Structure formats: structure tokens, C-alpha cells
Amino acid sequence: MPPLSAPLSPETLARFVAIVGERHAVTEPAEQAAYLEEPRGLYHGATPVVLRPGSTAEVAAILRLATELGVPVVPQGGNTGLVGGQIPHDGEILLSLKRLDRIREIDSASSTMTAEAGVVLQAAQQAAAAVDRLFPLSLGAEGSCTIGGNLSTNAGGTAALAYGVARDLVLGLEVVLPDGRVWHGLNKLKKDNTGYDLKHLFMGAEGTLGVITAAVLKLFPAPKSVETAFVAVETPEAALALFGLVQGRAGGSLTSFELMARICLDMALRHGTNLRDPLTTPSPWYVLIEFSSGASEGLRDLLEETLGLALEQDLVTDAVMAESLEHRAAFWRLREFVSDAQRYEGGSIKQDVSVPVAAVPDFIRAASEAVTTLIPGCRPVPFGHLGDGNIHFNVSQPVGADKAAFLARWDAISDAVFAEVLSRGGSISAEHGIGVMKRDYLPRIKDPVALDLMRTFKAALDPAGILNPGKVV
């Protein structure tokens, strides 16, 4: 099914609006604007109407009508995606899931939460904390991203090292298929071997196979103690060796291990407010380490002893441990502002990639050499989740360069970075998805059989091609 090529007739538009009611159908351009531009401003969309259903039944009615009439629909959660997958690029109807924002149940005995797709991630975290549980998915956009979007893109985040990515935190799903049927898969079972595990089809599919309307999420015991340290290291190789040491001593207590180049701190400190350098002497590289435990005592001693051993082995040049909750929060504010800080430095070409953990130092070195050879003076800004091999390899424009001319080299920079990723057995998308930004790369890098299977699933579940056309495959 091709994208919408002609405006909807008034009669057709009225049929869609009637499903949600005029109050929840947005047609005025000024009111639509917040839905039609993604956070970095790279993609701008257009739509005849933003439909805001308030129930699974309304979502089903919308998709049933869309399939009947051959009208394409783009689902959207919190509109925080970075690869253009949530934007209606060709005038499709936009289906906003934000009104599906109920937490239907928290089952403390089963350690589960049943949340609708429009629940904001931070609200899910807070609801879990209110019953002394932890929902560990944590992202920089957690104040605005939604559970449905997190699952549709298989979000990762800073706690993936210990708890896995979004798909690892789900027991069951409720999904509306393109023809309007509803798959009622909201079970709480950790063991269910009754055939294909269908939920994994829809997580990471970016709304191309069905619309997730609710999920059963795994909860964990709330940690009784958390200890955090900001650590200086000379090289990524030293950071990798430190990771091995820390993981060996802390085991499951190690919940985050974040790597940052000095340029990350320089940009954040230059443009952020209420941020300060945690250490007195600059270092080429830093690691943010966090331990969490169900035990109320002993964790700080473990972290202190581990850092002392690392200093003895010359893996660490300096370190500071958080002395309070606010001190810990300050470390994380610095880490989380790195992406935003790059906006103030001009054009930034951003890549979300992963390589085997052992290959991270060599990848950073080779990719940095590749992009600076391609564009002399450009500034690599590598940071990310060293513990799971996911590096955000961003490249800022040369100081004083023309922003538009630099951004015009996006594909060339991507080609250079992806070549280094693929030569090390990595992935060109670790946690942001494919959307439209990386769609054309898939035929070049994906196993042909895997790509054929993806297209087979799409054709089987959405034969009319109405659901998020032009995305992923």
C-alpha cells in the first residue's frame, strides 16, 4: 500500500473522527505541530488528523476502518524517537496513544505491572516505587517517552547491563492488529511453552505489525542501597579492564557502567546549568559506575575496595563516590545532558551502534580516525553503555563550520562509522530502532533470509500495508 497520495474526503475524515469524538481529533495545524516534528528537528510530518483514542476498542475501530478504506496510519507514543519512525512523512493519519495512560494493575505478589501504552515511563517507575518495587528501564527521555514507544523500539537505557532491554522486561502484551482484531496476550506467566512467543514479533517492530495498547511489565525488588562513583581513566582500554575487574567483584550488584570522553564533559559543563566537574583534574576519559543491592549494608565498602584495587592496578587515576542522593543525581545529570549539550555546538551527526564489549576501545579509535579523515576538524563525541557494548558515536561539526554543509555529509559519516561497526560484528542500531533514518541500510547489512522473514511477517499481518508504511522494511 503506497503512502496517502490524496487528501481524505470530508466524509472519510468524519468517519475516523467519529470514532474518538471531535474533542480528541486534532486537525488544526498549530495544535498538530507537537506531534509532527521529532526531538532533533530532522523530520517534519503532515497529517489530515491526529486521532487520540481513549481505549483499545477505539484503536481497533480506527485500524479496522483504515484497512477497509486503505488509509495508512502511523502510531505514535511520546514522540521522543530519533530515527523518524513515529512521524507521518507522507500525510498518513497519526494515531497518538497518549490517552491510553492507565496503570491497570500492580500485582506485588507476582511482581508485575499492567500498564497501557500511553503511560509515561517515569510514571511507571514511580508507581513501582510506591509498592517497594523497581521497574528498571531508565532513559534520558523517561519524563516524556511512553511504555508503548519503549516497547515498539525495544529501548535500552542505562540499566540494560543488569536488567536487559525493554523486551526482557515484558511478560505479556495486548496488541491491535492492522485489521482491527485484538490479541489478548496479557499474561503474567514466566513459563508458557504453548507455541510461538508472539510478543517478540511486536517489540522492536516500530508499529509496523500491530499497535501495542498494553503490556504486563516485570517488576523487581526495590534496592535497599545504591552506591555511585565518578571515575577518571586514561583510555577506553583502561575502562574496559576496569569493567572486567568491577564485574568480577560486584557480579549482579553492578547495574550501570557508562563511558564518556572528556569532550562530553566539556560540552555539558559549557552549556548546562547547575552542573560541575566531579573531579578536580581533567582526564581524557571517565566512567560512571553504579552498584545496587537488596542488602542495606556492605555495598559502599565493596565499591571502595574495588576502586582501591583499581587504583593499585593503575586502571583508575582518580575517583569520587557520591556522598548523598543529590550528589548521585548530579553525576547522572551530567551524563544525561551530554546529548542535549551537543545542540549548542552546531551540527551533530549522531549514531547509536553496538559492538562486542571487547571491541569497544578499538572501534572508538578506528571510527574517530575515519570521521576526522573524512572531515578534518570534526569532533567525535563518543559515550554510552560500555557494559553492554552500546556506544553513542556522535560527531560534532568543526568549530566555526557551516552547519548545513556539515549535516549534508550525514550519509558519508554514517557509512564510515557503520563500516567500522560491521567489521567488528556489531549492529548499526543498538536501541533507537530503524525508522526511516536507517531503513535503506537494512538490505545492505541484514542477512537476506532474515530480511525475507521480516517482509513475510509484514505481508502476513498487514497485507493492505496500512500500518506505518515506509518504516523499517
Per-residue pLDDT tens digits for 321-354:
999 999 999 999 999 999 999 999 999 999 999 9
Going by the DSSP 8-state scheme, the letter that residue 146 receives in this structure is: B
Q: Cβ atoms within 10 A of the Cβ of 407, count?
A: 15
| Phi-psi map region of 389: left, alpha, beta (phi>0 left; psi -120 to 50 alpha) | left
Set of cell numbers at residue 428: 548499526
8 A C-beta contact, residue 394 and residue 342: yes
**CA–CA distance, 421 with 366 (Å, rounded to integer):** 10
Q: How far is CA 58 from its chain centroid? A: 27
Q: Between β-strands 93-96 and 73-76, what pairing exists: parallel, antiparallel or unpaired?
A: parallel
Range list of β-strands (E), 83-126: 93-96, 103-107, 112-116
- Give φ, ψ of 241 to 5 degrees: -65, -40
Identify any residues that bridge with 464 across adjacent strands, giving them in sequence order.
none
8 A C-beta contact, residue 3 and residue 42: no
Cα-Cα-Cα-Cα torsion 5, 19, 65, 29, nearest 10 degrees, comes to 10
> Which single residue is written with the C-alpha cell 576526522?
372
Which residue from 85, 38, 70 is spatially nearest to 472, judged by alpha carbons? 85
Which letter, b or e, does each residue of 309-323 get, where b requires 16 or more Cβ atoms within 10 Å of its Cβ?
ebeeeebbbbbbbbe
Q: What's the pLDDT at 32?
A: 97
Set of cell numbers at residue 311: 587504583
- For the chain, helix (H) and strand (E) counts, in that order, are 17, 19
**CA–CA distance, 395 with 380 (Å, rounded to integer):** 4
SS (H, E, C) 332-343: HHHHHCHHHHHH
Residues in the chain, pLDDT under 70: 1-6
Q: Which domains does the chain have, with CATH numbers?
A: 10-99 (3.30.43.10), 103-221 (3.30.465.10), 225-341 (3.30.70.2190), 346-423 (3.30.70.2740)
- String of DSSP letters for 339-382: HHHGGGGS-EE--EEE--GGGHHHHHHHHHHHHHHHSTT-EEEE
**CA–CA distance, 75 with 50 (Å, rounded to integer):** 10
8 A C-beta contact, residue 256 and residue 310: no
Containing 133, the helix (H) or strand (E) segment is strand 133-134
Which residue from 109, 170, 104 is spatially nearest to 137, judged by alpha carbons? 170
> Which single residue is written with the C-alpha cell 519512525?
85
Q: What's the pLDDT at 227?
A: 97
Containing 53, the helix (H) or strand (E) segment is none
**CA–CA distance, 435 with 440 (Å, rounded to integer):** 10
Containing 265, the helix (H) or strand (E) segment is helix 262-271
Spatial CB neighbours of 189, under 8 Å, sequence gap ≥ 6? 171, 172
